[in-house]
């Protein structure tokens, strides 16, 4: 059970604060509802009895926020090449409400956007995933939306530069290593 003032996450909507708990009659049935105040002055009603089934959870703490930033600093994870399957996989990650999965979607789609660009659907998904991610980090970090957005962009830009610069220049790290360091499989090094 959550209380007024608790900071919670509602999957696919982001983080918000329980503004009130109200008794409402919906479809002839009286129920108790959490009234969540979400970013952008949006209010959402969630039945208190089924809140957990709807994915409502407490926001992350500062330690978990650091783990999110660490995910943004890593190289992209392998994604499906088929855009339709990739879209469904990313949508499932977002629906999970798991902040680490959402950070993975944000990083991966950001990398893809920088490399090749995104379809309209994936651009919208990236925008939504960033909003969800930022809304929770704002509350976890006690920061402004602008500060968190800038921090997220900086982490992504830094990791993209670190992991993708060689690829963007058409030079792969593997070819450089094989050229200058002989390995067992290299016939020239076996003759030495």
- pLDDT tens, residue by residue, 32-79: 999 999 988 899 999 999 999 999 999 999 999 999 999 999 999 999
Residue 17 shares a structural domain with residue 86? no
| 186 inside domain | no
| 130 inside domain | yes
CA distance 66 to 188: 47
Residue where a domain stops, chosen among 58, 82, 97: 58
* Averaged pLDDT for residues 81-86: 90
Report the CATH number that the domain containing residue 123 is assigned in CATH. Answer: 1.20.58.1290
Residue 42 shares a structural domain with residue 25? yes
Residue 79 shares a structural domain with residue 153? yes
Q: What is the pLDDT of residue 167?
A: 52
Question: Please, which pLDDT band fits residue 183 given cuts at 50, 70 and 90?
Answer: very low
Q: Are 125 and 88 in contact (CB under 8 A)?
A: no
Stronger pLDDT, 187 or 128, i.e. the higher one: 128
Residue 43 shares a structural domain with residue 66? no
Residue 50 shares a structural domain with residue 81? no
Helical ranges in the chain per DSSP H: 62-72, 83-96, 99-115, 120-141, 145-168, 173-180, 187-190
CA distance 60 to 77: 23
Q: What is the pLDDT of residue 41?
A: 85
Residue where a domain stops, chosen among 24, 42, 58: 58
Q: What is the pLDDT of residue 171?
A: 46
* Averaged pLDDT for residues 137-143: 95
Residue where a domain stops, chosen among 58, 74, 89: 58
Per the structure, the complete domain to which residue 159 belongs is given by 62-173
Residue 70 shares a structural domain with residue 160? yes
């Amino acid at each position: 059970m959550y209380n007024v003032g608790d900071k919670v996450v509602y999957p696919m909507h982001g983080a918000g604060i329980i503004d009130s708990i109200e008794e409402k009659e919906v479809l002839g049935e009286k129920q108790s509802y959490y009234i969540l105040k979400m970013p952008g002055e949006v209010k959402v009603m969630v039945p208190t009895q089924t809140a957990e089934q709807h994915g409502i959870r407490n926001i992350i703490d500062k330690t978990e926020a650091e783990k999110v930033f660490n995910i943004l600093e890593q190289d992209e994870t392998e994604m499906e090449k088929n855009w339709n399957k990739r879209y469904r996989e990313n949508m499932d990650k977002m629906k999970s409400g798991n902040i680490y999965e959402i950070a993975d979607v944000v990083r991966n789609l950001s990398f893809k956007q920088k490399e090749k660009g995104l379809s309209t659907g994936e651009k919208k998904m990236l925008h939504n995933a960033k909003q969800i991610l930022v809304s929770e980090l704002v509350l976890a970090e006690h920061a402004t939306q602008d500060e968190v957005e800038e921090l997220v962009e900086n982490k992504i830009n830094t990791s993209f530069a670190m992991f993708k610069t060689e690829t963007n220049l058409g030079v792969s790290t593997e070819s450089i290593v094989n050229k200058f360091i002989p390995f067992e499989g290299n016939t020239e090094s076996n003759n030495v």
